[in-house]
Structure 1
């Protein structure tokens, strides 16, 4: 059975919620039991089951119900609704776990008078209140971490948490600069309010395609965006090519929706290059990731040749020799020649990527 990258991404996200809940809850419970000398394997398995159910419910709410997006309601309303959901989620799953454990000692029925009495007894216990309060705080913490993770991307988020970028680090990265065609005309035609909504929908699709191909969006500047991958992660899979193809297909599939909502559809062009850059955090308060090196400027200059050559996707020779062949989706490379890019002393060999 074929599973789309969108489905795989959502499934992986839900699994991450479950894994996070299990690791934190079981670890905290085991540590607490060890500290107070009250270790109980049954209690530990109960917490394991509870954390799996809560993690599953939390993941489904964020990934499926909210479509893995930011909550569009006001902060106060979103916080109130989410808090109510967390309390209901934890309480219902706590009661469900009690009923499941009670099934073994009863007639095998899920709901019995004995099971209901255990629920009433459990919810009257200070230990249950403390567990629900702890899980409530953990739920908000997981939501916060997920928001930060979406902001920075997986690779940057993990390495920032580990403190990798506190000092400058040299990395070999691939950059792809994607630019919206006819952005000035679109802005004039739609007006600034509608154009802002148009760009939001456009970048939502781009970020999904980037995430599904294990890339990170480094920077969005107006109508252009820099996407990045580690070069080592693209030696067996041409992830930038896959991302370009997926984004083109995605825009084609959503074309009717854009036409209905805005009367126009987005088209784009892209340039890609690779090389060594210095990765580091800049700033103190409100710091952000920065990549220093000539690679980004070269990528932007390559993309600017698309209009001149009448092509949608151009790459440098440096990237061409590092991509696995044959290219996916029946793409092939065509040598366009050597070009002198602004700010470069030497000419660069440029390849176009397209279908037959």
Structure 2
């Protein structure tokens, strides 16, 4: 595979920034020009070019420079720095577009006296100042939307906007419960402040691996996290298996960094299961997504068998028969036998996953 999943995720994220900027900017420009009876195709193309440049710059700043992370500075400082960046980004790209259009229509040279005079003329016009101000607020809106999107995940975010989960919906989902090993010992050794920082670094890596495999983090509770996928989205690609593998490789690669910073390194165990659940929004003020059904309890019970069996990854028969074969990364399944899980009337056949 020429492009790894992390690179693909970052590329998709930047493309989403560009697409969002194009859609918003062109639509607003077209509506504005139509409303004032001054529709101009050349002006529309100019705004299209500007939106591509601004969207690309915005995407690179958030995805590459900030590494998809929240700004760790105080809110006023972060807001001030980001506002300066947006003004500079929009103004520079606006000037760049003017110079490019002047180059195409005049001498063919990129920077000329005529082009610079055109830039100065445009930047002194009320229309240009209004456009920059509008794009400035649009940039902050995109940042806010992206923060909400990261909070809820792609699938939940889109379906919530569409109002899909206002009423209960039955869905066939895969759940994977990932649990940090030795969490109690780590908490006692590190202390609560340092342990909190440790868990933040650990979950940052997990969320990246989950996003790179098109999954969503449903719930984080202490040292455990529920990850979820639509079953239909995993029929051709075993995304939960890829996620488990990627996270294991990621922790192995970052182990020296954890050891240097904390003196300990994380490892994990996981259980996965699938089935039908009811998805809905619960609560009124501060509402959140909830999944109702025994699939989640069964998943956590399967994961609890990892310590008993001495395994890192266990899955149910229900999930095994739905995964595409052969499994990625040369994984193979070993039948561990039937187990009676707490709260279940019937025994469940459990498989462990191994690499050669």
TM-score when scaled to structure 1? Answer: 0.99
Q: List gaps (5 residues or longer) in structure 1.
A: none
Alignment of 1:339-350 (within 5 A): 339-350=339-350
Alignment of 1:8-27 (within 5 A): 8-27=8-27
Aligned pair 1:41/2:46, yes or no?
Answer: no
2: CA distance between counterparts of 1:7 and 1:215? 16
1: CA distance between counterparts of 2:111 and 2:231? 56
2: CA distance between counterparts of 1:172 and 1:216? 14
Aligned pair 1:31/2:28, yes or no?
Answer: no
Q: List gaps (5 residues or longer) in structure 2.
A: none
- SS of 1:284's partner is coil
- SS of 1:351's partner is strand
Q: Displacement of 1:37 after TM fit? A: 1.7
1: CA distance between counterparts of 2:268 and 2:16? 33
The residue aligned with 1:81 is: 81
Q: Which 4+ runs in 1 deviate beyond 6 A?
A: none
Q: Displacement of 1:263 after TM fit? A: 1.1
Aligned pair 1:238/2:241, yes or no?
Answer: no
Aligned pair 1:294/2:291, yes or no?
Answer: no
2: CA distance between counterparts of 1:78 and 1:159? 30
The residue aligned with 1:148 is: 148
Alignment of 1:177-256 (within 5 A): 177-256=177-256
2: CA distance between counterparts of 1:3 and 1:296? 33
Q: Displacement of 1:106 after TM fit? A: 2.8
The residue aligned with 1:159 is: 159
Q: Displacement of 1:30 after TM fit? A: 1.1
Aligned pair 1:331/2:331, yes or no?
Answer: yes
| CA deviation profile, 1:165-200 (whole Å, cap 9, x unmatched) | 000000000000000001000111111111111111
Alignment of 1:94-109 (within 5 A): 94-109=94-109
2: CA distance between counterparts of 1:55 and 1:62? 11
2: CA distance between counterparts of 1:285 and 1:109? 58
1: CA distance between counterparts of 2:322 and 2:14? 34
2: CA distance between counterparts of 1:183 and 1:343? 26
The residue aligned with 2:69 is: 69
Q: Displacement of 1:134 after TM fit? A: 0.6
The residue aligned with 1:315 is: 315
| CA deviation profile, 1:198-222 (whole Å, cap 9, x unmatched) | 1111111100000000000000000
Q: Displacement of 1:105 after TM fit? A: 3.0
Aligned pair 1:50/2:42, yes or no?
Answer: no
Q: Displacement of 1:107 after TM fit? A: 2.2
- SS of 1:26's partner is helix
Aligned pair 1:175/2:175, yes or no?
Answer: yes
Q: Displacement of 1:3 after TM fit? A: 1.4
1: CA distance between counterparts of 2:115 and 2:199? 54
The residue aligned with 2:263 is: 263
- SS of 2:76's partner is helix
- SS of 1:104's partner is helix
Q: Displacement of 1:74 after TM fit? A: 0.3
- SS of 2:105's partner is coil
1: CA distance between counterparts of 2:136 and 2:104? 29
2: CA distance between counterparts of 1:105 and 1:68? 39
Q: How many residues align?
A: 356
